[in-house]
Amino acid sequence: MSAVTNLMNRPSDQSLVEMKQTFPCGAGKTAVVTAEHLSKRFADVHAVDDLTFSLEPGTVTGFLGPNGAGKTTTLRMLLHLVEPSAGRALVFGRGYQDLERPAAQVGAVLEAADFHPGRSGRDHLFALALALGRGAKGGNWFLERERAAAKRVDAVLDLVELRSAGRRRVGSYSLGMRQRLGLAAALLGDPALLILDEPANGLDPEGVRWLRDFLRGFAADGKTVLVSSHVLAEVAQTVDDVIIINKGRLVTISPLAELIARRTGAVRVRARGAPKLRANLESEGFQATLLDGDELLVEGAPSARIGEIALRAGIPLAELVSESSSLEDIFLELTTEEPS
Residues within the interface to another protein (CB under 8 A)? 73, 76, 79-83, 96-97, 102-103, 106, 108, 110-111, 113-120, 123-124, 126-128, 130-133, 140, 142, 145-146, 185, 189
Q: Shortest distance, CB of residue 218 to another protein, whole angstroms?
A: 18
Alpha helices in the chain (DSSP H): 2-9, 14-22, 71-78, 121-132, 142-159, 175-187, 205-220, 232-236, 256-263, 274-283, 303-313, 327-336
Question: Closer CB to another protein, residue 41 or residue 268?
Answer: 41
Q: Cβ closer to another protein: 126 or 218? A: 126
Task: Give, for 105, the enclosing helix (H) or strand (E).
Answer: none
Task: Find the shortest distance in angstroms from Cβ 112 to another protein.
Answer: 9
Please identify, using beta-carbon distances, which residue of 132 and 177 lies nearer to another protein: 132
Shortest distance in whole angstroms from residue 149 CB to another protein: 8
Neighbouring C-beta atoms of residue 292, cutoff 10 Å: 9
Nearest distance, CB of residue 58 and another protein, angstroms: 23
On whether the CB atoms of residues 221 and 134 are closer than 8 A, the answer is: no
Which residue, 194 or 250, has its beta carbon nearer to another protein? Answer: 194
Q: How far is the CB of 81 from another protein (least distance, A)?
A: 4
Q: Which is nearer to another protein, 97 or 340 (CB)?
A: 97
Instruction: Measure Cα distances from 54 to 7, 31, 83, 219, 327 in Å.
Output: 17, 6, 19, 16, 23
In the complex with another protein, the residue whose CB is nearer, 73 or 280, is 73
What is the C-alpha separation between 47 and 135, in angstroms, rounded?
A: 36
Q: From CA 250, how far away is CA 98, in angstroms rounded?
A: 26
Could you tell me where the DSSP H helices lie in 175-302? 175-187, 205-220, 232-236, 256-263, 274-283
Shorter beta-carbon distance to another protein: residue 174 or 237: 174
**Could you count the other beta carbons within 10 Å of the beta carbon of residue 320?**
16
Min dist. Cβ of residue 207 to another protein (A): 20
**Taking the complex as a whole, how short is the minimal distance between the CB of residue 132 and another protein, in angstroms?**
5
Instruction: Report d(CA 107, CA 132) in Å as an integer.
Output: 11
Q: How near is the Cβ of 225 to another protein at its closest, in Å? A: 16
Q: How far is CA 161 from CA 98, 176, 181, 276, in A?
A: 33, 11, 9, 62
Strands 317-322 and 295-299: unpaired
- Select 63 or 96, whichever has its Cβ closest to another protein: 96
Q: How many helices (H) and strands (E) does the chain have?
A: 12, 13
| Under 8 Å between Cβ of 335 and 69 | yes
The answer to whether the CB of 60 falls within 8 A of the CB of 89 is no
Q: Which residue, 106 or 281, has its beta carbon nearer to another protein?
A: 106
Query: Least distance (Å) from another protein to the CB of residue 86?
Result: 15
